[in-house]
A and B are shown apart, each in its own frame.
Chain A
């Protein structure tokens, strides 16, 4: 299978079951909402080292937010509900509670929930006030610029993390430009985030290492400088490989994002050789995204 001359490998991306929530952060201006959201989703690239994976999903017009102010929707993914329950109050407490004029709402209606204000209310030291409106509970926590308004809980759903594809290019520049096109096309889609900086990863990893302390190490089969090694997976003319990792609320959200990203990457005369995907032989993840099915 080829797309504008770029080979779509007969491989699959392996993804995992995760727990996710959507938070809506509003503020007096879009700039302040974005600052809070960027801080909340900062250092949240991989559950391995960050406890969760988070990103900005989209900006919201005042008419689309609960309080009629500009807002940002963020998605937070964690490996378990316990991890999510730990990360969400921690991040909201450090990054939104602290940020002038902001408020936090649940962005998902779901039977299961994760605590937000229910934990942060204690910051109010007894001066906090609970209010119930239209079935939802909110906390008003006195802070130095007035009150921090925070949803008691946010909806939590089962989600999918670790969808991915690899961009194999003839030069570093061509590969980077293709990744940038892919990210641009994917970031407009709902229900997905690309947790890595700029949406792109250059340090794809394999499971295990020659060093016993490491559970993962560099994916040497895709490192172009190691192409002479017997187990290299790279064709001779590949000089650079970049990966795009996708977390989404559902399998179909991830498939849609992969489709849009791969199509954008494989523009005419892109300088790409192949689109591949990362997996662990299908042994670890619950979900598989076969590239040729996704692009079919």
Chain B
């Protein structure tokens, strides 16, 4: 496992960590990794200027001491495990394809979403945040799982075409807007959902047991869910499943 720890006193500006993913770093020595270019604000700097590199190369990559300035963590990930001991900024897990991204703090807007202008979001893997995420988490999701341990911002799962988004806290306004076929699994009623969702009543869905097992959640958590089918403005084959008492 290679660990990249954010140094104290890094100059101001946002940091882009696009491309710093397990498969790209596997087999690279610490010296090579230290020379990789990162974008800080509007300039390029060697990675070592911002992060202290420790450990040996492997399937797992870890970030430590990160904060909300660290953007694009795990963006385009295509395998391996990426663990973040800290917060993540914008675009974490964007257009991810495979592997596990686990952020132990919070993440900003566009978590597990798509590149700007494209309609192709996450294509696989598991993107997990232990605390909160910003707006538009899981936007354009196509496959894979987005797991939010805390609250999600507005438009969670907007325009998702497949896959599953789980929010264990509360989702914000307009959850599932333009949802095509994906599943939003929510522990509580969201702040709001589009009026184009229809209440299909309370159900026991076996699939949710498998999902809970796979994610290491309590199996009883989603034993009974209220199913809202929608978004009917785009076909209505998606669903928002809200845990029912």
Chain A residues near B211 (CB-CB < 8 A): 131, 133
- Near A by CB (< 8 A), chain B positions 14-66 give none
Q: Check if A134 sits within 8 Å of B214, measured CB to CB.
A: yes
Least CB distance, A139 to chain B, in whole angstroms: 10
Which A residue sits closest to B144, measured CB to CB? Answer: A132
B8 contacts the other chain (CB 8 A): no
Chain A residues near B213 (CB-CB < 8 A): 66-68
Q: Check if B214 sits within 8 Å of A67, measured CB to CB.
A: no
Interface stretch of the complex, out of B104-112, B130-138, B200-208? B200-208
- Near B by CB (< 8 A), chain A positions 125-143 give 127, 129-134, 138, 140
Which A residue sits closest to B211, measured CB to CB? Answer: A133
Known contacts A68-B219, A129-B181, A132-B143, A147 near B207 by CB under 8 Å:
yes
Interface of A (DSSP majority class): strand
Q: Check if A138 sits within 8 Å of B204, measured CB to CB.
A: no
- Near B by CB (< 8 A), chain A positions 110-155 give 127, 129-134, 138, 140, 146-147, 149
The answer for the CA separation of A67 and B219 in the assembled complex, in Å, is 9
Interface of B (DSSP majority class): mixed
The answer for the CA separation of A86 and B143 in the assembled complex, in Å, is 30
The answer for the CA separation of A146 and B203 in the assembled complex, in Å, is 7
Q: Check if B143 sits within 8 Å of A138, measured CB to CB.
A: no
A103 contacts the other chain (CB 8 A): yes
Which B residue sits closest to A67, measured CB to CB? Answer: B209
Q: Check if A140 sits within 8 Å of B207, measured CB to CB.
A: yes
What count of chain B residues pass the 8 Å CB interface test? 21
Q: Check if B164 sits within 8 Å of A149, measured CB to CB.
A: no
- Near A by CB (< 8 A), chain B positions 164-213 give 164, 181, 183, 203-207, 209-211, 213
Least CB distance, B123 to chain A, in whole angstroms: 11
- Near B by CB (< 8 A), chain A positions 46-80 give 66-68
- Near A by CB (< 8 A), chain B positions 139-174 give 143-145, 162, 164
Identify A147's interface contact among B124, B164, B205, B214, CB under 8 A: B205
Interface centre among B164, B210, B239 (most CB of A within 10 A): B210
Binding site for B on A (CB under 8 A): 66-68, 103, 127, 129-134, 138, 140, 146-147, 149
Binding site for A on B (CB under 8 A): 124, 143-145, 162, 164, 181, 183, 203-207, 209-211, 213-214, 219, 237, 239
- Knowing that A67-B206, A131-B211, A146-B203 are A-B contacts, what are 13 other residue pairs whose CB atoms are under 8 Å apart, sorted by A's residue number? A66-B213, A127-B237, A129-B183, A129-B239, A131-B164, A132-B124, A133-B145, A133-B210, A133-B211, A138-B210, A147-B203, A147-B206, A147-B207
In the A-B complex, the 9 residue pairs with the closest CB atoms: A149-B206, A133-B214, A67-B209, A140-B207, A134-B214, A103-B206, A133-B210, A149-B207, A67-B206
